[in-house]
Structure 1
Amino acid sequence: MSNEIENITSTSETSPEKWVNLEDIAEHLSVSTDTVRNWIKDGKLPFYRAGKRYKFKISEVDEWLRDGKITD
């Protein structure tokens, strides 16, 4: 993963969570970038837009996984 990703075990109060890009979140989830794009299109993944780029917070994506909101 890129250097953008920081240790997510620290609380957001001590250090803010950094944003990651589509490729990083695909690697984090062990899926292809096409799968991530499909999940975005289907509304299955929390994301933000920064211009034409997608940005993600790993903590939000992990929470969606734990809650069972991401399914194929």
Structure 2
Amino acid sequence: MPKKTLNVQDVAEYLGVHSDTIYTMVRQKQIPHFRVRRRILFSIEAIDAWIRDQEQKVLEEAI
């Protein structure tokens, strides 16, 4: 069964960025996340939807 939640390192690898970038995005509320106590977690479905949303914004700006 595939993982449904990812940690900061998982998301950084998934997006191909440094984990510091993910922490900055979380702090600035630029990426969907949730917390369990002090742990920052991400739903894979929410990240995939966020990626699609980002792609759509780029396409709309190009018009």
Query: Would the TM-score normalized by the shorter structure come out above 0.5?
Result: yes
- Calculate percent identity across the aligned residue pairs: 33
CA RMSD across the alignment:
1.9
Higher relative contact order (CA 8 A, sep 6+): 2
Flag structure 2 segments of 5+ consecutive residues without an equivalent.
Answer: 56-63
Q: TM-score, normalised by structure 1?
A: 0.68
1:38 counterpart residue number: 24
Flag structure 1 segments of 5+ consecutive residues without an equivalent.
Answer: 7-16
Q: Distance in 1 between matches of 2:8 and 2:49?
A: 17
1:64 counterpart = 2:58: no
Equivalence map 1:1-72=2 (5 Å): 6=2, 18-68=4-54
Q: Distance in 2 between matches of 1:56 and 1:23?
A: 11
Structure 1 residue 25, shift from structure 2 partner: 0.8
Give the letter for the 1:43 counterpart: K
* Larger Rg belongs to: 2
Q: Distance in 1 between matches of 2:45 and 2:39?
A: 19
Tell whether the 8 Å contact from 2:4 to 2:45 is kept in structure 1 after alignment. no
Report the structure, 1 or 2, having the larger helix content: 2
